[in-house]
């Protein structure tokens, strides 16, 4: 009996091992093929569509990856009017349930982007779309193009593209309140192609649609447009500059920061903003912009009051606020410097204050070099009223000491500094590199040439007014840099953004694609072709 049990156990063990072998893959080439559509119910490109359910069958198990981000339906359908499965897990088919009737005589496109992947290896089925028409034919026109970066070096991805028919019902407000007739997307590239379009005249719009609602929200979205009406059919490839508009100014409830300091939060640009204390007596005040937040600070000298009334205005904007007196601590004058021990050769020494400054007495300030020889200098109060710039010839391989005697600096509240001393040194010229740019094919002048670090901060910039102007940047710290060109059309020294309603395009820019490596004690000559 015991031998019989042993025989049974051995037989079962062999059977289980064989079963296990059958379940283990034998190896072989890795599956790199994407899923294939083998059937669609109804068929692709169906006409006179009236179904409530669509099924798309594949040759293997598939999953939908990032489908909420990838799938684009054109013309747009309210997301509550349809559902797509599987939303998780694997299936051999995709099911689309339509919960509301569709518009008549329209071609619909369900563009799945790259959301369809096989269950095992994650191979993508790229740019799969399912098309049908509720009318007698399927629209077949298309338009393609490229979304260009404007000011930022980094390209944006997942840019929506919209078409609005230019008919008797069209006006500009539709981009804020209505819906486009056709929707496309660049997905994770900068190129787009909108297909299955109808012949006609359209307005084209590109949008970084942060709220994913097919509407332009200037506070959050970037926008791009073309300067002409789009007539379909066309063979033109559209080039679109994407930009962020300056949003309209708006103020918010002010608050006390210190005893005689009030903060006025805002959004938009603070240029040209006026803050007026509504009082029968003229009071001393200073208005400054906070360096770190969108806040205007109203500084005033002490006087007796219970309630303050303010009017803040800009152009057609005006708002009045009331503030009750609060017992808070006073500001005390603090002077500091961002320079620790080394001053770069191209930099200016500056000191900073936490309270707006009124005056500087240079007679109580001295600048000495390493030989204790007095260095001729000038000081300049920055327009922000917090910084004092020291202007003197900065030489390599030198040491400097700046002594500031008491009462040399006076702030808005008539506080004075105590004795202050700063010491720092400079490096040798051989510690830096030189970048000589040869720029070809510039379309127009003036052009602002900017050297950027890897955070896109402007390290150095130079304005070129003609082809003869050299473009040399000396004393650059060894590092990796990028180059941006700005066609300064209005010659104001800065990049100006665009405005959709006024049909103003942003100033053109050019980003050199190569990263530039500057080495110490080295002159690098870099040739840049704008037409590359």
Q: Convert the pLDDT of each residue in 290-316 to its tens digit.
A: 999 999 999 999 898 999 999 999 999
Pair 294, 267: CB distance under 8 Å: yes
Q: For residues 270-279, b (16+ Cβ closer than 10 Å) or e, as one string?
A: beebebebee
Helix (H) or strand (E) holding 8, with range, is helix 2-23
What is the rounded end-to-end Cα distance, in angstroms, of the chain? 88
3-class DSSP state for residue 174? helix
pLDDT value, residue 61: 96
> In angstroms, how far is CA 223 from the centroid of its own chain?
12
Helix (H) or strand (E) holding 110, with range, is strand 107-111
Q: Tokens at residue 531, please?
A: 């037409």
Pair 443, 389: CB distance under 8 Å: no
Length of the chain: 532
State how far the Cα of 347 lies from the Cα of 394, in Å rounded to an integer.
Answer: 8
pLDDT value, residue 169: 86
State how far the Cα of 305 lies from the Cα of 283, in Å rounded to an integer.
Answer: 12
Q: Are strands 141-148 and 237-241 parallel, antiparallel or unpaired?
A: parallel
Q: Convert the pLDDT of each residue in 148-181 to its tens digit.
A: 888 998 888 899 999 999 998 899 999 999 999 9
pLDDT value, residue 188: 75
Question: What is each CA distance from 217 to 175, 186, 214, 240, 406, in whole angstroms?
Answer: 9, 19, 9, 18, 53
Q: What is the pTM of this model?
A: 0.84
Q: How many CB atoms lie within 10 A of CB 23?
A: 6
pLDDT value, residue 532: 56
Question: What is each CA distance from 416 to 162, 299, 449, in whole angstroms?
Answer: 60, 17, 41
pLDDT value, residue 13: 52
| Stretches in the chain below the pLDDT threshold 50 | 1-2, 4, 6-7, 10-12, 14-25
**Contacts of 6 by beta carbon, 8 Å cutoff, 6+ apart:** none
3-class DSSP state for residue 4? helix
List strand residue ranges (DSSP E) for 376-429, in order. 378-381, 387-391, 399-404, 409-411, 420-425
pLDDT value, residue 21: 40
**220: alpha, beta or left, given left = phi > 0 and alpha = psi -120 to 50?**
alpha
pLDDT value, residue 16: 44
Domains of the chain (ranges plus CATH)? 37-133 (2.60.40.1220), 141-241 (2.60.40), 250-324 (2.60.40), 335-427 (2.60.40.3780), 431-529 (2.60.40.1120)
Q: For residues 300-315, b (16+ Cβ closer than 10 Å) or e, as one string?
A: beeeeeeebebebbbe
């Amino acid at each position: 009996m015991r031998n019989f049990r042993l025989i049974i156990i051995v037989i079962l063990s062999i059977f289980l091992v064989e079963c296990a072998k059958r379940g283990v893959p034998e190896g072989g080439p890795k599956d790199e093929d994407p899923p294939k559509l083998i059937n669609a119910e109804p068929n692709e490109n169906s006409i006179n569509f009236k179904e409530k359910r669509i099924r798309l069958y594949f040759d293997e198990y598939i999953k939908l990856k990032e489908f909420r981000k990838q799938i684009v339906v054109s013309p747009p359908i309210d997301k509550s009017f349809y559902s797509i499965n599987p939303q998780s897990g694997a299936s051999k088919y995709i099911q689309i349930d339509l919960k509301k009737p569709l518009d008549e005589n329209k071609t619909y496109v369900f563009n799945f982007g790259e959301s369809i992947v096989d269950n095992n290896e994650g191979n993508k089925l790229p740019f799969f779309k399912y098309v049908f028409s509720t009318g007698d034919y399927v629209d077949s026109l298309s338009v393609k193009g490229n979304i260009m970066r404007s000011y930022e070096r980094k390209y944006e991805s997942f840019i929506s593209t919209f078409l609005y028919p230019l008919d008797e019902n069209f006006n500009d407000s539709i981009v804020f309140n209505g819906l486009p007739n056709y929707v496309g997307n660049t997905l994770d590239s900068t190129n787009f192609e909108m297909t299955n379009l109808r012949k006609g005249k359209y307005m084209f719009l590109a949008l970084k649609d942060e709220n994913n609602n097919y509407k332009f929200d200037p506070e959050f979205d970037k926008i791009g447009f073309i300067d002409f009406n789009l007539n379909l059919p066309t063979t033109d490839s559209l080039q679109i500059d994407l930009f962020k508009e300056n949003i309209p100014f708006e103020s918010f409830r002010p608050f006390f920061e210190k005893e005689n300091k009030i903060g006025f939060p805002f959004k938009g640009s603070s240029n040209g903003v006026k803050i007026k204390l509504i009082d029968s007596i003229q009071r001393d005040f200073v208005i400054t912009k906070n360096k770190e937040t969108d806040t205007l600070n109203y500084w005033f000298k002490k006087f007796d009051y219970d309630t303050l009334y303010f009017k803040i205005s800009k152009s057609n904007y005006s708002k009045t606020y009331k503030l009750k007196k609060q017992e808070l601590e006073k500001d005390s004058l603090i002077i500091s410097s961002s320079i620790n021990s080394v001053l770069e050769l191209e930099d200016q020494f500056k000191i900073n204050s936490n309270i707006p400054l009124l005056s500087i007495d240079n007679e109580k300030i001295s600048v000495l070099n390493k030989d204790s020889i007095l260095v001729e200098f000038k000081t300049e109060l920055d327009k922000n009223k917090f910084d004092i710039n020291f202007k003197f010839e900065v030489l390599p391989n030198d040491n400097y000491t700046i002594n500031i005697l008491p009462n040399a600096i006076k702030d808005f509240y008539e506080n004075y500094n105590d004795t202050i001393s700063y010491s720092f040194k400079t490096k040798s010229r051989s510690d830096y590199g030189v970048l000589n740019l040869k720029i070809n094919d510039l379309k127009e002048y003036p052009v602002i040439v900017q050297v950027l670090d890897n955070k896109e901060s402007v390290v150095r910039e130079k304005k070129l007014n003609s082809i003869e102007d050299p473009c040399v940047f000396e004393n650059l710290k060894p590092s990796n840099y990028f180059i941006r060109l700005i066609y300064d059309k209005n010659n104001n020294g800065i990049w100006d953004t665009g405005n959709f309603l006024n049909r103003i395009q942003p100033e053109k820019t050019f980003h050199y694609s190569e990263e530039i490596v500057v080495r110490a004690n080295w002159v690098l000559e870099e040739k840049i072709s704008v037409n590359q």
